[in-house]
Amino acid sequence: MDKLEIKNLNRNFKFGKQKVLKNINVSFLSNKIYGLFGENGAGKSTLMSIIADYNFPTSGEVLLDGENVHDNDNALSKIYYMNQNNMYPKNEKIKKIFKLTKAIYKDYDSQLQEKLVNEFKLNIKLRFDKLSTGYKSIVKIIIALCVPCKFVILDEPTLGLDARNRDIFYRELIESYSANPRTFIISTHIIEEIDKLVSDVVMIDNGKIVLNDTADNIRSKAYSVNGPIDLVSDYTKDLSVIGKEELGQYVTIDVMGSLPNKEVPSGVKITKIELQKLIVNLMNKDGANDN
Amino acid sequence: MIIKETALYKNIMKRYFLYTLIYMAILFSINILLNRMRLLENLSQIKTTYLSFIVVMICFNYYLFKLSINFGISRQSLYKVKLSLLCSIAFIVNIITFSTNLLVYFFDKKDLNSFYIGLYYGFFQNNIFDFTFMFVFGIIFTFFIFIIFNTLGTLLSLLGVVGKIICLVSIYAMFTLPLMLIGIYHDFISTDFSVINTIFSIVTGIHTSNNKCGNPINMLVTLIIIIIIMLFINYKLTKRYQIRR
Amino acid sequence: MQFDFQSPEPIFLQVSNQIEDAIFTGAFKEGTQIPSTTEISKTFQINPATVLKGMNLLVNNNLLEKQRGRGTFVTYGAQQRVINERREHFYHDYILNLINESKKLHLSKDDILELIKRGYDNG
């Protein structure tokens, strides 16, 4: 089975003074949909560009099926990075870009491309840099869904997309994933759109991985404990707290981990937290809480 | 991944080279029709413009890198594509300039402004050998120019603004400094240039002391040595490319 | 099908419950084909693997069957099986809780029976 492993990855800037990625260790397995979350500047784009060999790490390695990805045609042909940079020549027509991509990738899915062009109502005679942000994303999305790569990395795929096109994108993503299983790593700020879609969650905070687990596991381990302040605080005192909200005499404390063996005091209610709220809580926390 | 490399190669050749050729051909025809310029002057002028354009184009490395990495082409393969492009373009350009020169020669029987003819032609004392060697020399020389400019372009692409300025200033210095040193040597040390003359003869095969025909093989060897060094530097530089965000 | 994604229940469980409900009410008739995992995941933007997990629960309970090349169908007798299972749970989910709650309110067994009778008379 294909596996994309990131081992002990570090990336420093300014001669080591600025550490953007700190000892990242994470694996991406085949045929799963990963959500890569984190604040702006947390290091998501840096990580993705290093995986795709766009940039080099300061130390550490990226392995695909055990082979180092760096300068490796075989490994790189299995990875596609849909990114926010201008990768195409100026004034290039969309039609030409598609044609070139098709020539480069032997098993490019032209049928799907045609279907998507129609669904998104894309005019391929236009020039790429004359498009709106949304339509530039659409062109990139189409290519990303049609390339025959086992690992497709999507950096903010819905940037600039209106509601209708976002809906089309997710539907087509699911359809393509079902018909042709491969790994998608989606990085987005709009967590609620994909929180049911992802099977696994990886979260980066301040250059470190703070969460790396399946969505099901996380949902089963995250709880919201609500009730009078003293009772709740006592109940949660040994637990990993990720959020706290006070309202008069009452408090809601969000925790992660298994619930303690003690009996739930009367007046205290425990519910599950939604994935999105959980991630927002983690992002708001000061300092990483090692779990 | 030969497919990818070939596809990229074909795309670049078609997009830039072919269209430049067509553009130049049109320019040429228009010039003849509208200005009724003499065929030869026209050809020479077009040739120079064309060559300068090619040289400039050769310097655009970053966009080629962006295109290649986006398609999962490693830097090593990118280097191979680059070299193939340079070789092919050098070959084709050389055929064009060579034919241009021939035409000018036959139509006008003028002395060509080809430095090769002036310096080296006649060395083999056999027209066929001389001719063939001139052609081969031409290709290698064209490739030499290309690889130097491409390596320079690659280096400049990797540097920031400050780096670019320092680089260009250093190159300028590299050219003016030797001349300055020779001048100083002449004025203050000795007017005896025999050492310099000997070195010059070995490197270029041109004899400054007598009027004998120059030995093009020396120059060819020098060019090839420099090309090999440049190829190595270019490879190392290409491997260092990264996306700037 | 309706999903409440705020619910603490795992999504795959919600999927299987919703399909089971549809079998129970007869919305998905026995012997007919139900929407594919892809269709359901596309409509609600859920991970297909999650939908599949939910469906497989029902396949294991003999409420759905997969026919190769054709799709997933409701098994014959599924509706009755759901009714039987829910009757089993009725005692546990409703009756026991009722008795528990009534004890807190100090209601006797006869009080309960009165209330039940009242409920039937009114509704």
CA dist B229 to B137, B138, B234, Å? 18, 19, 9
Residues of chain A neighbouring B245 (CB-CB closer than 8 A) = 45, 49, 85
* The token pair that represents C57 in the structure block: 């629960």
With cut-offs at 50, 70 and 90, classify the pLDDT of residue A289.
very low
Residue B90 included in any domain: yes
Backbone Cα Rg of chain B:
21
| Listed range (A82-86, B81-85, B99-103, B112-116) with the worst mean pLDDT | B112-116
CB B114 within 8 A of CB B193: no
- Asked if A197 and C45 come within 8 Å (Cβ–Cβ), the reply is yes
- What's the mean per-residue pLDDT of chain B? 80
**DSSP assignment of A144-196:** HHHS--SEEEEESTTTT--HHHHHHHHHHHHHHHHHS--EEEEE-S-HHHHTT
Residue A22 included in any domain: yes
The number of domains in chain A is 2
Residue A79's DSSP bridge partners are A151
- What's the mean per-residue pLDDT of chain A? 90
- Asked if A171 and C6 come within 8 Å (Cβ–Cβ), the reply is no
Q: Using the 3D structure, point to which of A177, A206, A235 is the last residue of a domain.
A: A206
Residue A232 included in any domain: yes
Residue A63's DSSP bridge partners are A5, A68
From the list C11, C12, C42, the residue facing A175 with the nearest CB is: C42
| Listed range (A10-24, A31-45, B8-22) with the worst mean pLDDT | B8-22
% pLDDT > 90, chain A? 61
pLDDT digits (tens, 9 = 90+) for A224-276: 888 898 888 888 888 888 888 888 888 888 888 877 777 778 888 888 787 88
Residue A37 included in any domain: yes
Domain shared by A56 and A155, yes or no: yes
pLDDT digits (tens, 9 = 90+) for C7-44: 667 889 889 999 999 999 989 999 999 999 999 999 98
- Tell which wins on pLDDT, B205 or A123: A123
Residue A211 included in any domain: no
| pLDDT beyond 60 at B25 | yes
From the list C8, C10, C49, the residue facing A199 with the nearest CB is: C49
With cut-offs at 50, 70 and 90, classify the pLDDT of residue A26.
very high
CA dist B16 to A132, B24, B80, B83, B148, Å? 27, 12, 18, 16, 20
- The per-residue pLDDT for A291 is 39
Residue B245 included in any domain: no
| pLDDT beyond 80 at B51 | no
- Asked if B66 and A87 come within 8 Å (Cβ–Cβ), the reply is yes
- The per-residue pLDDT for B153 is 87
With cut-offs at 50, 70 and 90, classify the pLDDT of residue B76.
very high
Domain shared by A199 and A228, yes or no: no
Q: Containing domain of residue A245, as a range? A: 220-284
Mean pLDDT of B60-66: 84
Instruction: Kindly report the CATH number assigned to the domain that includes residue A22.
Output: 3.40.50.300
Residue B234 included in any domain: yes
**DSSP assignment of A248-285:** TTEEEEEEESPPPSSPPPTT-EEEEPPHHHHHHHHHHS
- The per-residue pLDDT for B171 is 86
- The per-residue pLDDT for B112 is 57
% pLDDT > 70, chain A? 97
From the list C8, C12, C47, the residue facing A197 with the nearest CB is: C47
Neighboring chains of B (3 or more beta-carbon pairs < 8 A): A
* The token pair that represents A255 in the structure block: 């925790």
Domain shared by A191 and A225, yes or no: no
Residues of chain A neighbouring C47 (CB-CB closer than 8 A) = 33, 196-199, 215
| pLDDT beyond 50 at B59 | yes
Packing angle, helices B75-108 and B62-70, rounded to 10: 130
Domain shared by A64 and A117, yes or no: yes
- The per-residue pLDDT for B108 is 63
- Tell which wins on pLDDT, B66 or C5: B66
The CA-CA-CA angle for residues B174, B175, B179, to 5°, reads: 110
Residue A213 included in any domain: no
Q: Containing domain of residue B49, as a range? A: 2-238
Report d(CA A209, CA A202) in Å as an integer: 7
Where would I find the beta strands (DSSP E) of C59-117? Answer: 64-67, 71-74
Domain shared by A155 and A48, yes or no: yes
Residue A256 backbone dihedrals phi, psi, to 5 degrees: -125, 135
Which residue from A31, A32, A28, A35 is spatially nearest to A52, judged by alpha carbons?
A28
With cut-offs at 50, 70 and 90, classify the pLDDT of residue C5.
low
- The per-residue pLDDT for A72 is 93
Instruction: Kindly report the CATH number assigned to the domain that includes residue A275.
Output: 3.30.70
pLDDT digits (tens, 9 = 90+) for B124-155: 777 777 778 888 888 898 889 889 888 988 88
- The per-residue pLDDT for A62 is 96
Number of Cβ within 10 Å of residue B224's Cβ equals 13
Looking at CA atoms only, how far is residue A9 from chain B in angstroms?
A: 17
| pLDDT beyond 80 at B24 | no
Domain shared by A256 and A164, yes or no: no
- The per-residue pLDDT for B114 is 65
| CB of A55 less than 8 A from some CB of B | yes
- Tell which wins on pLDDT, C95 or B29: C95
| pLDDT beyond 50 at A290 | no
- The per-residue pLDDT for B40 is 60
| Listed range (A70-79, A158-167, B15-24, B30-39) with the worst mean pLDDT | B30-39
- The per-residue pLDDT for A287 is 46
| pLDDT beyond 60 at B232 | yes
Residue B243 included in any domain: no
Looking at CA atoms only, how far is residue C18 from chain A in angstroms?
A: 16
The number of domains in chain B is 1
Mean pLDDT of A11-16: 85
With cut-offs at 50, 70 and 90, classify the pLDDT of residue B107.
low
| pLDDT beyond 60 at A202 | yes
pLDDT digits (tens, 9 = 90+) for C76-123: 999 999 999 888 888 888 888 888 888 888 988 888 898 889 999 887
- Asked if C44 and A216 come within 8 Å (Cβ–Cβ), the reply is no
Domain shared by A179 and A227, yes or no: no
Domain shared by A239 and A197, yes or no: no
With cut-offs at 50, 70 and 90, classify the pLDDT of residue B14.
confident
| pLDDT beyond 50 at B196 | yes
From the list C5, C8, C42, the residue facing A196 with the nearest CB is: C5
Q: Token match 């994303």: residue?
A: A137
Residue B27 included in any domain: yes
Residue A209's DSSP bridge partners are A204
Which residue from A175, A184, A192 is spatially nearest to A149, judged by alpha carbons?
A184
Report d(CA A68, CA A86) in Å as an integer: 26
| CB of C50 less than 8 A from some CB of A | yes
Report d(CA A289, CA A228) in Å as an integer: 25
pLDDT digits (tens, 9 = 90+) for A70-79: 999 999 999 9
The string over A27-51, giving b where at least 16 C-beta atoms fall within 10 Å of a residue's C-beta and e elsewhere, is: ebeeebbbbbbbeeebbbbbbbbbb
Q: Which residue of C has its CA nearest to A32?
A: C49
- The per-residue pLDDT for B47 is 67
pLDDT digits (tens, 9 = 90+) for B109-127: 665 556 666 677 767 777 7
